[in-house]
Structure 1
Amino acid sequence: MFILYNDQLLRESDWHLPLTDRAFQYNDGFFETAILANGRIRFWDQHRQRMREAAGALHLKLPEYFLQPTLEDKLLQLARQQQAEKYGRLKLKVWRAGAGLYTPQTSQVNWLASIEPATPASQEPLHIGICQNSHTVYTSLSHVKGPNAPLYVLAGLEKQARQQDDMLLLNQQGLVAELISSNIFWVKENTLYTSDLSSGCVNGILRRNILAWCHAQDIKTQQVLQSPEQLLQADAVFAANVTGIRAIASINGTQLHQKDAFVEQLRAGMQV
């Protein structure tokens, strides 16, 4: 397997992370997950924008080339090297370089990109539970991916123990935030709802695109703080991330309504 590390193509076996590295010591960084399909990186411009936001929140300085077209070209070359150009999953990790304790010595970064072949996500409806042991918390970092990863690991363990497809995470006030790796949406009386960022949810790439698409289609949207009971009364409930859109069939065993026509229209609009 080949990887890109600080703009250099390496074999995975030739790459080593020193014990003093801040990625290992402090998880001092963020990551992006993107999908490659038919020779392109889906929503690449939005991924670059979220990386700018994450770097700003963590006071990291991205290399100038990092947000230029040359990086995308190199990632596509890596995809071809990995035979993942037709369909693959890209994970791009960025973390603070240098040593130091909690107070860092630099804002410069190291970064690593890996790509593996993948298969398109299932479109089968999800049966989810409500997470009891983990809750989201709004902070200046809650909208980006990486700093709060242990929260989602604990939710994943609960999902496994309860034999659910996914878990609905609530914030500390018991209001709807997100799923483990997806944003959540629901439709009621021709309005599309999703959790407000103040719930502590990640500002997902597909979340941004769905809201923009609805605006272009003159579909009313609201970003809200609501209780899980509101989902039980919705006309349709679904999850969305860069791998696609999946209807939610039940929550804690209670069956939900599904307006399948809207979800199919949205899939077509997002081309996922």
Structure 2
Amino acid sequence: MVNFNGTLISDNEVQISTKNRAFKYGDAIFETIKVLNGKVVFAEDHYFRLMASMRMLRMKIPMKFTLEYLQDEILKVIKELPESSSYRIRLTVFRKDGGLYAPVTNEINYIIEGTPLENVEKETYRMDVFKDFYNYSGLLSTIKTTNRMLNTLAAVFAEENDLDNCILLNERKGVVETINGNIFIVKGNTIKTPALTEGCIKGIIRKKVIEIIEKHSEYTIEETTISPFEIQKADEVFITNAIVGIQPVTNYRKKEFSTDITNKIKSSLKLATVTS
């Protein structure tokens, strides 16, 4: 079952016309959200990011789109799914049908989908750089639009080369993010992550991890430009996203990483997740 504009219907009942703007122009945004033990994890952060993205893309925000409303709409879907302690939710918002590049309206439709989650963290995690195409820096790249062709091609590349993930670069050949999350590198007591000006997604877990590190006086966090060569020299590397939380990277090309600091941060994030 999916939630289409507040109505629960089966997957095969969802009808998308040839005038659908998400299909024709990628005129849509989405949030990937975790529900844990019946609770929407970091609901407020997801909500404010969604509202900010809709405003930036000139989508008309319905009056009923409150935090409480969207949480209730998500939980409606959960009740129709097989029982599990955790679920992956995708909330997609797209402009209503019509128009060419210029839409006929800025009003929106939305779809909420859900699937039960199993353990998604891997003990061994291999990664390399995807160099075929670039993720161009700029404010629009920080929004989770449905235009994910670069991520798709990088995912195909990863499968072809027996990798778990790939690092995406911008036009200046700086590190941006990975296929499905933000990236952090650890060198000594300094932890770096690409600045938003590099073109990375404004990740919810990215934000939470930065907050955690700022509270640890023994570590320094830097949002900055990162070269691929710095990854080779790093002590530890980890990826963040809403579903896994923190995924330690164990191998980058021939380099093997430790996970000591990563595991400490992961423990703090798990505590924040439970208390959110």
Cα-to-partner distance string for 1:9-50 (whole Å, 9 max, x where unaligned): 222222211111212221111111111111111111111111
Alpha carbons 1:36, 1:85 under 8 Å: kept: no
One-letter code of the match for 1:235?
A: D
Task: Tell me what 1:231 maps to.
Answer: 231
Cα distance in 1 for residues equivalent to 2:157 and 2:21: 29
The answer to whether the 8 Å contact 1:36/1:84 transfers is: no
CA 1:84/1:135 → structure 2, altered by over 3 Å: closer, same or farther?
farther
2: CA distance, partners of 1:269 / 1:62? 34
Give 1:20's aligned residue. Answer: 19
What TM-score does the superposition give when structure 2 sets the normalisation length? 0.92
Distance 1:52 1:85, change over 3 A: farther
Partner of 2:246: 245
Within 1, Cα distance between the matches of 2:177 and 2:113? 26
Native 8 Å contact 1:133 1:158 kept in 2: no
TM-fit CA distance, 1:111: 0.4
**CA deviation profile, 1:131-155 (whole Å, cap 9, x unmatched):** 0212110133201112431110111
Partner SS for 1:154? helix
Distance across 1 between alignment mates of 2:152 and 2:64: 33
Q: Which amino acid aligns with 1:248?
A: V
Structure 1 runs, 4 residues or longer, greater than 6 Å off = none
Q: Provide structure 1 residue ranges, at least 5 long, that are not aligned to the other structure.
A: none
User: Structure 1 stretch 21-30 or stretch 138-147: which is displaced more?
Assistant: 138-147
Report if aligned partners of 1:142, 1:202 keep a CA contact under 8 Å in 2: yes
Offset of 1:84 from its aligned partner?
4.9
Specify the alignment match of 1:143 in structure 2: 142
Superposed CA deviations along residues 165-192 of structure 1, whole A, max 9, x for unmatched, are 1111111221111110011101122121
* Number of equivalences: 269
Distance of 1:18 and 1:148 partners within structure 2: 18
Read off the aligned partner of 2:49 and give its amino acid letter. Answer: R
| CA–CA distance in structure 1, aligned partners of residues 268 and 192 of structure 2 | 17
Q: Tell me which amino acid in the other structure corresponds to 2:123.
A: E
Greater strand share, 1 or 2?
1
RMSD between superposed Cα atoms in Å: 1.6
Q: Which moved more, 1:220-229 or 1:140-149?
A: 140-149
Give the secondary structure class of the aligned counterpart of 2:111: strand
Q: How does 1:124-139 map to 2 (within 5 A)?
A: 124-139=123-138
**Displacement after TM superposition at 1:80 (Å):** 1.8
Distance in 2, matches of 1:130 and 1:238, equals: 14
> How far apart are 1:53 and its partner, in Å?
1.9
Question: Which of 145-154 and 99-108 deviates more?
Answer: 145-154
Distance 1:169 1:116 in 2: 27
Give unpaired runs (5+ residues) of structure 2: none
Cα distance in 2, alignment partners of residues 33 and 85 from structure 1: 17
Please give the per-residue CA displacement for 1:97-139, whole angstroms capped at 9, x wherever unaligned.
1311101121110100011112131241311111021211013
User: Would you say the 8 A contact 1:121–1:244 is kept in 2?
Assistant: no
What residue number does 2:186 align with? 187
Name the residue aligned to 2:221: 221
1:72 to 1:84, Cα distance in 2 relative to 1, 3 A = farther
Matched residue of 1:142: which SS?
helix
Q: What is the CA–CA distance in structure 1 between the aligned matches of 2:56 and 2:83, rounded to whole Å?
A: 32
Instruction: Give the TM-score normalised by the residue count of structure 1.
Output: 0.93
